[in-house]
Chain A
Amino acid sequence: MSDKKPLSSVNDFVVRFANVNGSGSASANEMFARAILRHGVPVSPRNIFPSNIQGLPTWYEVRVTEDGHLGARGGVDMMVAMNPQTWDKDVAGIEPGGYLFYDSTKPMPSTKFRDDITVIGVPLTAITNSTYTDPRQRQLFKNIIYLGALSALLDMDPKLIEQLIGEQYKGKEKLLSSNVHALHLGRDWALQNLKCPLGLRIKKSDKVGDRIFIEGNSAAALGAVYGGATVCAWYPITPSSSVAEAFTAHCKKYRHDAETGKAKYAIVQGEDELASIGIVIGASWNGARAFTATSGPGISLMTEFIGLSYFAEIPAVIMNIQRAGPSTGMPTRTQQCDIIACAYASHGDTKHVLLFPEDPAEAFEFAAAAFDLAERLQTTIFLMLDLDIGMNHRLCRPLKWDDAKQYDRGKVMTTEMLEEGRDFGRYLDVDGDGIPYRTYPGTHPTKGSYFTRGTSRDRYARYSEEGSVYADNMQRLVRKFETAQDLVPRPLQANAERPTKYGVIYFGSTSPAMDEAIGLLETRGHQLDRLRIRAFPFHSSVASFLAEHDFVYVVEQNRDAQLRQLIVNENGIDPVRLVPIVHYDGTPITARFIAKAIGDHQDHLKVTPLRKAVS
């Protein structure tokens, strides 16, 4: 039937599940990914879901990657087509030689298939209907049955899946045994009726190590717990809601007083994003560590307050889980599209600190660090995640914490310091770093009080519209931003084996795809030095990197090459030397895309010099 040899690969392929949203497939699919991990084989799963609760198409993609390439790969080697709505597109998307797994209960016309793929029919509905009578059970167990069939087809160890089911339904014996039963229903049917295993196989390995499997939003929320956040105010918005939900869950676990049971935190679901950031600013003004989590539309609403935070110098932490804009955009698709909106948020001359974690482990670290930075710098710190990091399980190094670490509460003048007669000027730079001292409300009966305002004022917080007083303050804010350069996480550089005049700059969720692309480019003969930017303002090493290379590619996931714009603007360099590589269709960037875009440009650059040609 096939005019193309079936794909054959061990521990290196992509399986995509096409489901209907709300059909309960998510947990079975996730179990599939986890089961492969238990084989010691790295996976990189991604949810591709609609802005919908029930009925619309949803996909779950699992990249099985012994080599540990955690970026999206592109292409599908095996499609588990469970959604008639998307059948045609799903079948068309399979790589030549790939596999199609489908529910064969109802016969399909041959025109619905392809000649160059292997078709595997399992009568899932027939099996479920003959076993279960309850419609909800039929729906849920159908998912476990296909998981069982896949385990036989891909040569997976059923014991490892049983173990996962055991952990998931610990203490719920009835559910546990019925799930195991369903698993074997599917597995046995496949073993008896199909040629197992296929060319695509899972083989036990040891490439997972001590790594953990976690969503970026949960990791960032835990970073807030470790970083000492006590106030969280938020407004539901995809893809950030799970940050606040995870923070709530983590706090329930870690933040209740052992004796009284009372909460050492306060979480408020605001009426909108304006209230959320207002609560954060009020709490931070009063000396608590506070944060909000939002996405693009929320950032737009918060900008007036962000300007207040900048100008009145009030700490705030905003986690921005970016999604495709502009406007409502594509709420469930990923992008890195709020770089400019956050870097220069609010009217007037403003600049803000941005942190760009590459994965959940860094999201945890940077989230905790954001509170130190916010209080040290007395301004807003943006933690820039995106949907790809935030809402997908990602394999990453274990989270680490140093118990000796104390929080950096920044320059706070205490009752004792005021008693000693220290000169307190709320906006007075005493040591040249641009950062003034602040006092918490209620500190001292007669000293240290001041009036906080978004209007211009002098070094002692007295209202003033004097031009020189205003300019003096604005210059100090520039000095403060320069101080920030050396406090934020530095860029990480990795050089090519041979010296090269080409470099590439990237950040955030592009990281795994970029690392993989470097390998692909090397096989094409292209050598590139890499610089992963981890924060704005840019450290001086960014300027050095630009100076050391003739051409630098800036790889990012937005249309307008926003990071490139920021680099050009902040470093005053010739834009021609910065080549934008942009991917912005809402899907995560892939190594294939990057390698092709950079490779093509490199090939194009390698024209024979004119003098050589004519001589």
Chain B
Amino acid sequence: MTYIAKPKFHHPGLKKNELGYTHRDYEGKISTLCAGCGHDSITASIIEACYELSIEPHRVAKISGIGCSSKTPDYFLGNSHGFNTVHGRMPSVLTGANLANRDLVYLGVSGDGDSASIGFGQFAHSIRRGVNMTYIVENNGVYGLTKGQFSATADRGSKSKKGVTNTDNAIDLVAMALQLGATFVARSFSGDKSQLVPLIAAAIGHKGASFIDVISPCIAFNNHAGSTKSFDYVREHNDAVNRLDVLVGRDPIAVDYAPGTVQVVEQHDGSKIALRKIDADYDPHDRLGAQTFLARHAAKGQIVTGLLYVDPDAEDLHAHLDTVETPLNTLEADTLCPGSAALDKFNASLR
């Protein structure tokens, strides 16, 4: 809002990251969401992950659709370009932006209405294409901005704040992302920063379509008894498959893992993900296994969180299209225009 100014002063002794940026350099405007909103916790986790990764804030493009979640890019990375597009269409705009300049980090922020209803098609196709992006759905199972209608991720049988029972089947975006070929698939909970921050960091490091579904209770419209997206419900039903740490050539983002249950995954950009397995049998390289595991736990009413699948050797859309390494938006007439001599030849072939 134009009338809310965020104070710029900060403590002179604030810790700096590798590039000399403080935490504050990754912040944005003051949030206009409801106090206590899960989305603000996700915003904080994004800020934390970008700070820890020492990403230059202005080299991130943050793109969103419409809704409460889609407002949040204004609240982090204030020195990045942001684009609040149209409802459900973040994925296509992000795809185009990525094609224009492959050198930036693309952060797509969406909600369950934005991605599972109006934008379900675009969600699916951007993932199918393997766009190099981190696609975060801030999933609260409800339309917050229009005051509490069910979304397509609301579980069948769950109750709205007004007491209405949802009779439609729920869409599980994680299951969809796995089926559609996402090469990094995770789920987390907005209230679990220690799990979420490393997941976001690892997703950003991943070269390919990364998808994170973050259950984020809506404290205004979906945090009551009978809701399956409330803080209490998610805490009780959360079943983490692993905890992870991201090592970016220096200190891991969180150092607290027990040897013997750790699996290290090295990604394309050289970053390493250390997975602390909670479920000893869980293999994050097995897409089919992940799908089965997810379905089995869903049947038991459990919400599986953690890194469910990663393909460290994934290829992205630019690789599929075999585009030049130079960002397309920097090419000028000298390299793009075939010139008059070629045109004369072309004309001659049409006589």
Contact = CB atoms under 8 A, between A and B. Distances in A.
Contacts of A464: 2
Nearest to B96: A282
A525 B89 CA distance: 58
Given A278-B89, A442-B103, A228 B336 contact: yes
A445 B58 contact: yes
A260 B335 CA distance: 14
A505 interface: no
B122 A274 contact: yes
A274 B97 CA distance: 15
A214 B59 contact: no
Given A275-B121, A278-B122, A286 B101 contact: yes
Contacts of B14: none
A451 B74 CA distance: 7
Contacts of A453: 83-84
Interface string B88-130: 0101111111111101100000000000000001101100010
B262 to A, nearest CB: 36
A452 B121 contact: no
A124 B271 CA distance: 72
A441 B61 contact: yes
A444 B59 CA distance: 9
Contacts of A272: 121
A398 B347 contact: yes
Contact of A282 (B79, B92, B338, B346): B92
Of A233, A264, A450, A453, most buried by chain B (CB within 10 Å of CB) is A453
B264 interface: no
A470 to B, nearest CB: 12
Contacts of A398: 344, 347
A42 to B, nearest CB: 12
B340 A402 contact: yes
Nearest to B19: A445
Interface string B58-99: 110101000000000110001111111110010111111111
Nearest to A262: B324
**Dominant secondary structure of chain B at its interface with chain A:** helix
Contacts of A277: 92
B332 interface: yes
A305 interface: yes
B84 A305 contact: no
B340 A401 contact: yes
Given A279-B93, A286-B61, A264 B81 contact: no
Contacts of B92: 233, 270, 274-279, 282
B56 A445 contact: yes
Interface residues of A, number: 77
Nearest to B58: A445
A3 interface: no
B95 A268 contact: yes
B80 A254 contact: no
A494 to B, nearest CB: 26
A407 B325 CA distance: 22
B96 A280 contact: yes
B57 interface: yes
A471 interface: no
A20 B259 CA distance: 74
Interface string A262-298: 1111111011101111111111111110100000000
A577 interface: no
Contacts of B81: 439-442, 449-452
Contacts of A230: 99-100, 328-329, 331, 336
A446 B8 CA distance: 14
Given A272-B121, A402-B340, A442-B104, A281 B96 contact: yes
B7 interface: no
B324 A257 contact: yes
A225 B339 CA distance: 10
Of B329, B332, B342, B346, most buried by chain A (CB within 10 Å of CB) is B329
A286 B99 CA distance: 9
A449 B73 CA distance: 13
Contacts of A286: 61, 96-97, 100-101, 104, 329
A113 interface: no
Interface of A: 37, 208, 210-214, 222, 225-226, 228, 230-231, 233, 254-255, 257, 260-268, 270-272, 274-288, 290, 304-305, 308, 398-403, 405-407, 439-446, 449-455, 458, 462-464, 466
7 contacts: A264-B324, A282-B98, A285-B97, A441-B104, A445-B57, A451-B84, A452-B83
- In the A-B complex, the 4 residue pairs with the smallest Cβ-Cβ separation, listed nearest first, are A282-B96, A278-B92, A288-B100, A441-B81
